[in-house]
Amino acid sequence: MGEPLREVELLSCGYSAKCSVPWCSHPATTILRYLDNQGRPYRQTDVCETHARELCVEMKVIDRKRRSE
Ligand SMILES: [Zn+2]
């Protein structure tokens, strides 16, 4: 039995913050919200566009940045 695929939600970062990756100095544009296997958020972090992509590798991404219009 392997570990189930972790899920992460992407949300727009509506406030100004710095990417939480220590060596990165870009502004955060995205909030990554990690979900546990019940779909409950257990951790969130603000990151730039590049790190948002990197940190989501091999995770199931739920993109909530795009609003249906
Ligand atoms: Zn970054």
The closest of 31, 26, 36, 39 to 55, measured between CA atoms, is 31
Ligand 1 centroid to residue 37 C-alpha, Å: 26
Q: What is the pTM of this model?
A: 0.84
Ligand 1 centroid to residue 46 C-alpha, Å: 9
Ligand 1 centroid to residue 19 C-alpha, Å: 5
- Bigger pLDDT: 23 vs 37: 23
pLDDT tens string 22-34: 999 999 999 999 9
Ligand 1 centroid to residue 1 C-alpha, Å: 33
CA dist., res. 27 & res. 42, Å (int): 23
- Mean per-residue pLDDT over the chain, rounded: 91
Ligand 1 centroid to residue 30 C-alpha, Å: 10
Domain ranges of the chain: 7-63
* Through-space distance between the first and last CA atoms of the chain, rounded to whole angstroms: 41
Mean pLDDT, rounded, for 1-28: 90
How confident is residue 5, by pLDDT bands cut at 50, 70 and 90?
A: confident
For every residue of 20-65, DSSP letters joined together read SSTT--SBP-EEEEEE-TTS-EEEEEEE-HHHHHHHTTTSEEEE-S
